A and B are shown apart, each in its own frame.
Chain A
């Protein structure tokens, strides 16, 4: 083997790689990801809090519901509560001739 070949052989030799690098990489990765999760959770909480605040602040206390919509809502409410049944019995009775 000549000097040049020995040079390249020596060039390929390096001190042993530290054995703890992988653990350091993974601990850094998990630290970063938990920091990111915390930040995301904080951001989500903030968005929810701001949203809730806006909803309660802009509560439509003074909003006037149009009569047509109010009637519809009342009909739905009556239907759901069964309050309209008596009226319907009367209607059916009229139709069937009782």
Chain B
């Protein structure tokens, strides 16, 4: 994915406030999207976004420039969500996205917005990250590996299965529509 210019990053590492603001402005939308999709809750996502950038600020001095800033920030965000998830068992049992709130429309299917949430509700936090990081933000499997610690090969297989499930889901959905 795109990176902020090295001079600004260097200045942020050195503790320049304006550079840190530039870093926040550049990376926060990506972090917001991934955290929002991993949690499914705006308030929790806002809390975790805040926590992520507090940790980024605190650890910037230790940042090693051989790794990409984006990957490093993703790792902090990913760990923040996992830590939160470990404290909240409802995350683990995939009940954060309320399955009962999705109502089928008159054609028997779900609105796309609801369908996305319904699909996400059936995935683990790690799988949600994999889906968004790879399919939306365009991270490579190697980058995702450095964030999650799972091997690139395992991630590739996992994503393939995930996408297959999503495809099947659409087949089921269109089957419902045709039956009505």
Contact = CB atoms under 8 A, between A and B. Distances in A.
A61 interface: no
A18 interface: yes
Contacts, number: 65
B115 A14 contact: no
B52 to A, nearest CB: 9
A3 B115 CA distance: 11
A28 B136 CA distance: 31
Interface stretch (B25-33, B75-83, B93-101, B146-154): B25-33
A15 B29 CA distance: 11
Q: Interface on chain B toward A: helix, strand, loop, or mixed SS?
A: helix
Interface stretch (A19-27, A37-45, A86-94): A19-27
B: interface residue count bin: 20 to 34
A11 B131 contact: yes
Given A21-B46, A29-B57, 20 more contacts: A3-B112, A4-B167, A4-B170, A7-B112, A8-B135, A10-B115, A10-B116, A11-B135, A12-B33, A15-B42, A17-B28, A17-B29, A17-B46, A18-B42, A21-B49, A21-B53, A22-B21, A22-B53, A25-B24, A25-B54
B145 interface: no
Nearest to B56: A25
B19 interface: no
Interface residues of A, number: 20
Main secondary structure of the interface of A (DSSP, over half): helix
Contacts of B173: 3
B64 interface: no
A18 B42 CA distance: 9
